[in-house]
Amino acid sequence: MTSIQARNVNHPDHVENLKAEKYNVIRAAMLSSLSDTEWTSFADLEARARQYLEDQGVPPSLFPKPGSVRWYCKAVQLDLEVRGEIERQPKKSPLHLRRVSQGED
């Protein structure tokens, strides 16, 4: 099975091997759920990701354990921050995120 080495914005030396199928579906769910202008709380992002999985017909067997969707959302969120695809709102608690605007140069 293919895996993706996900990085962690909070721990640059840490790499997590994630199953590519799970990583990619959660990444798609998160990016489709985030705006590049409005901030979204992590809790709302997780709820939107769950709805996306349901709407896309992702089989529940892909994330069979309680908490696995949340865990993957967190792992992918930290990796997407490292990759510069999403950003966190500075000095905001709880955590709020948005897509990084891909402005035209």
Counting every residue, how long is the chain?
105
| 95: in domain | yes
Q: Structural domain of residue 88, as residue ranges?
A: 3-99
Tell me the per-residue pLDDT of 15-38, one tens digit each, with 9 for 90 and over. Answer: 999 999 999 999 999 999 999 999
Is 86:97 a contact under the CB 8 Å cutoff? yes
CATH number, position 56: 1.10.10
Element (H, E) at 29: helix 20-33
Q: Is residue 90 part of a domain?
A: yes
In a domain, 105, yes or no: no
Pairing state between β 96-99 and 15-19 = unpaired
How many domains is the chain built from? Answer: 1
In the predicted model, is pLDDT for residue 105 greater than 50?
Answer: no
Give this prediction's pTM. 0.92
In this structure, what token pair is assigned to residue 48? 């939107």
Mean pLDDT of 28-52: 97
Any domain includes 71: yes
Average pLDDT over residues 85-92: 96
Q: Does residue 16 lie within any of the structural domains? A: yes
